[in-house]
Chains A and B, each alone.
Chain A
Amino acid sequence: MPQLIDRRLNPRDKSLGNRQRFLRRTREQIRQAVDKAVRERGIADASKGGSVTIPGKGIGEPHFNLSNSGGDRQRVFPGNKKFVSGDEIPRPEGGSGGGGGKDGSDSGAGEDAFTFALSESEFLDILFDDLELPDLVKATLKDEVSVEHRRAGYSNDGSTPNLNVLRTMRTSMSRRLALRRPSQSEIAALEEELQELRKGPFDVDTLNREVELFLEIERRKRIQRTIPFIDPIDVRYNRFEPKPVPRAKAAMFCLMDVSASMGEREKDLAKRFFILLHLFLKRKYDRVEIIFIRHTHEASEVDEETFFRGRETGGTVVSSALKKMVEVQVKRYPTADWNIYCAQVSDGDNSGGDTVQCVQLLQDAILPLTQYYAYIEIGEPTREEGASYFAYAKDLWRGYAEMAKQQANFAMRHVRDRGDVYPVFRQLFSKSRKEGATT
């Protein structure tokens, strides 16, 4: 007899260990490939996994092989059509022998690029590899942690919703067994026997037996009444224990200038940055809320669609957005429960005199509350590489730059085109980031 086994329901991912070993080994190449992929991808699928191509170098498995060319060799081929013994066939051009040229690599398997698919989580893992949420540690070490109730065994008292039926029935059964409480089926059997007797012929023996049975049934019923099926001492409840957990909630404020000077290009760059920030926060926190605040000369909280698509006209007063942010934060996101992150994107224009107010607001009100504040200034695409940005810098940049030197949780960078977004993001959040450095 053969053994037929259905293996299809076996746990999946049997090769996971090998896969991870492979990814670890090629980590460097994969990271470069992933960085490249992010730079080239559209917004919608920035976070999706997908195929990456890495160079074959470093993953070859070398062996000793015999050369494809040279020497004196004989080979048998099928499908002769017109050859007769002694015919000559010219050698193919460009090689000293047969299919030469394919064995020229050091890896044995060839140095062709190696393409394979990464899952979404692998992709993100590598994307955010060695990036760190600034000051995350400080936040989790703070005293004010929230409390979560976790299951912790059983208890004899509690509230009805926490009743554990299985446990209760188990103790009840052991008590009933120990006290020899007659079961319902036992009594039913005796009663049936009594009925049978009553149907049968009437004589003294039967009568005696009937009386005997009747008394026995009554006795057992009495015991049943005195020993309850479920006694209060049987009842068990699920116990919950309060456990302190680090706060795992983050509020991410996206501040953007939407005055006329911010065109499609600037908004696209801003969006890319916000997407990265959001993906990143989502990996670190259970819950991330995003608050979109846009401003011209006045600020308003809007939904995502309006934030990126809506058009507004007006002046530019950056401090209005900062004020709005403080207002929302105080109302809805107390620092006891939330880690506050803020990213501000602007083209650097501000109305005269307002920058001083902004710096004041940041220093006094905002930076003490936030884990991290990033300011991204979008520069002109035409500026040549290498020129000191400060020479061209706008009002807001100059104002912030001064402050950035003193504030550890404030950082600023500028972005010129799509390719800049991810490197800038990396700089801002990399583990070895220089505090508040300017470029």
Chain B
Amino acid sequence: MNLADVVEAKEASEGLLFEGPEWDFPTMQRAYDAVEKIALQDLGLNVFPNQIEVISAEQMLDAYSSVGMPLMYSHWSYGKRFVRDEMLYRKGYQALAYEIVINSSPCISYYMEENTMPMQTLVLAHAAFGHNHFFKNNYLFQHWTDPSGILDYLDFAKHYVADCEERHGHEEVESILDAAHALMGQGVFRYRRAAKLNLAEYESRRRERLAQEARTFNDLWRTVPARTRTKEVTLTEAEAAERKRRLRLPEENLLYFLEKHSPILADWQRELLRIVRNTAQYFYPQRQTKLMNEGCATFVHYYIVNQLFDQGRISEGALLEILHSHSNVVYQVDFDDQRFSGLNPYALGFAMMQDIQRICVAPTDEDREWFPDLAGCLDWRGKLRDIWANYRDESFVRQFLSPHLIRKFKLFLLVDNEKEKAYRVGSIHNVEGYRKVRTALADSYDVGSGEPDIEVADVDILGNRELKLRHNVRQGVKLADGGREATLTHIRRLWGYDVKLEEVAVAPR
């Protein structure tokens, strides 16, 4: 008997963590310690410190309405979300989540008080370790978000918005925020990486700026006569190109452009745009990693609760309860089922993580051919950690969706071309189809493919100031009519002059 076995045997003799469904804080603490041991020592996860908060149903609804954040600036749309969710919950149409986890350091996760102790164990493993590890290690989150500063920043934003409401009135603030919210989807940098901003320092910089302005203010400037333009400026092509270069056009981040260049906005209004933009940017990595994030968390909780059971720390009853809700979560309904609403990220994500583990440990010949690096390497922990750190949904699917899983999910590709009379089945789960299905699925996980690609094309600041937007149309998919005009109206409000939107067909990426 070697040392490891002795330790394991000792652990086994520690007995059950809990009995029955009731939970209390000491039990949560015990369960946390047991889960942490497996997560850190066995799986080798690397997590932010955890802050675990137990909340009531009403507080969960609060969290829902403020996009899951513990604090958020005030806006009527959050109130709308709240009254709607509350109604759905009260009438029993919608159950509430077991937990919510926030990408912050310390990593805050909320747990519903109604959960039973087995469920609390499950969600501890899922949120406090699975999601937490993903937030801390995935490259997108590392590049784009500032987990230690986000709560400070939101606190600043909340107070700033409240302050603006006080100074300029609710309606003024509301009209700017409404317009900015409409552009949230076009308020992120996709390609250019913004200079990483320490959000905690941000407020002090802003104060300094204001103080500087106050110091250097000189009323005399107001009395200097403005230069009157005598003749109409006509620009040559070269000058137009120069103008675009100076404005750094085309610009994909509409909110950024409006914040910097709108001729009519006051300083505080620009600051509001910046707040909305920063918030949108903060959530951008989450949208690109939904599949992986859930897959990672689900894989982690599944592994940990099974380990706990093997060590004799949880009873069969508890394991059954956990597996019952686990299998509800990872269930994939077929395309022809009434309940079908797309591929379930929990199901596919979890299946892919498990599949990678299988390939590492017990590969088939097919796996050896498709994944020579993984097959039989045995170090599935290291490989998974590496994948969690360095991929996003699109690249993850493109690299690691195996023929085995394509067969298991019976995936098939449907082509919908407006020139054809009917839908056509492109490829199915067979040897000829694997790569095509995989590529198409990976493309669909690219956030760029599901969202309109709209950029600021040109504007003549010295002339009529008409803002020209361009929608780059790919594969002939145009903008939906719903919301288009209303959104343009919002942009006009922010820009102050006319805004045109043209749709231009471009080659597929």
Contact = CB atoms under 8 A, between A and B. Distances in A.
A423 interface: no
B432 A79 contact: no
Given A6-B25, A62-B486, A108-B482, A25 B62 contact: no
Given A62-B483, A63-B483, A79-B333, A21 B75 contact: yes
Interface in B463-509: 471, 473, 475-487, 490
B204 to A, nearest CB: 27
B191 interface: no
Contact of A18 (B78, B332, B427, B479): B78
B79 A63 contact: no
Instruction: Report the contact-size class of chain B (Cβ under 8 Å from the partner).
Output: 35 or more
A156 B140 CA distance: 70
A63 B61 contact: no
B467 to A, nearest CB: 15
Interface in B332-377: 332-337, 343
B425 interface: yes
A4 B182 CA distance: 38
B134 interface: no
Interface stretch (A86-94, A168-176, A372-380): A86-94
Interface stretch (A99-107, A316-324, A401-409): A99-107
A4 B29 contact: yes
Interface stretch (A113-121, A213-221, A391-399): A113-121
A17 interface: yes
B476 A76 contact: no
Contacts of B54: 4-8
Given A77-B412, A96-B418, A60 B486 contact: yes
B25 A19 contact: no
B479 A66 contact: yes
Given A5-B54, A71-B418, A117-B87, A65 B59 contact: no
B476 A71 contact: yes
Given A21-B75, A88-B424, A114-B84, A77 B483 contact: no
B83 A91 contact: no
B143 interface: no
Interface in A1-57: 2-8, 10, 12, 14-15, 17-25, 51
Contacts of A77: 335, 411-412, 414
Nearest to A9: B56
Given A12-B58, A80-B410, A91-B423, A65 B452 contact: yes
B441 A117 contact: no
A73 interface: yes
A98 B335 CA distance: 13
Which secondary structure dominates chain A's binding surface? loop
Contact of B82 (A15, A66, A87, A107): A15
Nearest to B473: A71
Contacts of A3: 49-52, 106
A143 interface: no
Given A5-B54, A76-B441, A84-B428, A116 B84 contact: yes
A67 B477 contact: yes
B80 A65 contact: no
B292 interface: no
A101 to B, nearest CB: 11
Nearest to B51: A3
B131 interface: no
A140 B21 CA distance: 60
B414 A22 contact: no
B481 A104 contact: yes
A75 B416 contact: yes
A21 B169 CA distance: 12
Contacts of A83: 412, 425, 428
A103 B475 contact: no
B344 to A, nearest CB: 9
A62 B51 CA distance: 36
A2 B32 contact: yes
Contact of A64 (B78, B113, B484): B484
Nearest to A67: B480
Q: Looking at A76, A78, A106, which has the most chain B CB atoms within 10 Å of its CB?
A: A76
Contact of B413 (A68, A76, A115): A76
Contact of A89 (B25, B106, B425): B425
16 contacts: A2-B52, A3-B52, A4-B29, A4-B52, A5-B51, A5-B52, A8-B56, A10-B59, A15-B66, A67-B478, A71-B476, A72-B416, A73-B477, A74-B426, A78-B334, A84-B428
Given A64-B186, A88-B422, A103-B482, 7 more contacts: A2-B128, A64-B483, A73-B417, A76-B413, A80-B411, A89-B424, A115-B87
Interface of B: 25, 28-29, 32, 36, 49-56, 58-59, 61-62, 65-66, 74-80, 82-84, 86-87, 90, 106, 110, 113, 128, 170, 174, 178, 181-182, 184-186, 332-337, 343, 409-419, 421-430, 432-433, 437, 440-441, 443-444, 450-452, 454, 471, 473, 475-487, 490
9 closest A-B pairs (Cβ-Cβ)? A79-B334, A22-B79, A71-B476, A18-B79, A62-B486, A71-B477, A62-B483, A116-B83, A77-B335
Interface of A: 2-8, 10, 12, 14-15, 17-25, 51, 59-81, 83-91, 96-98, 103-108, 114-117
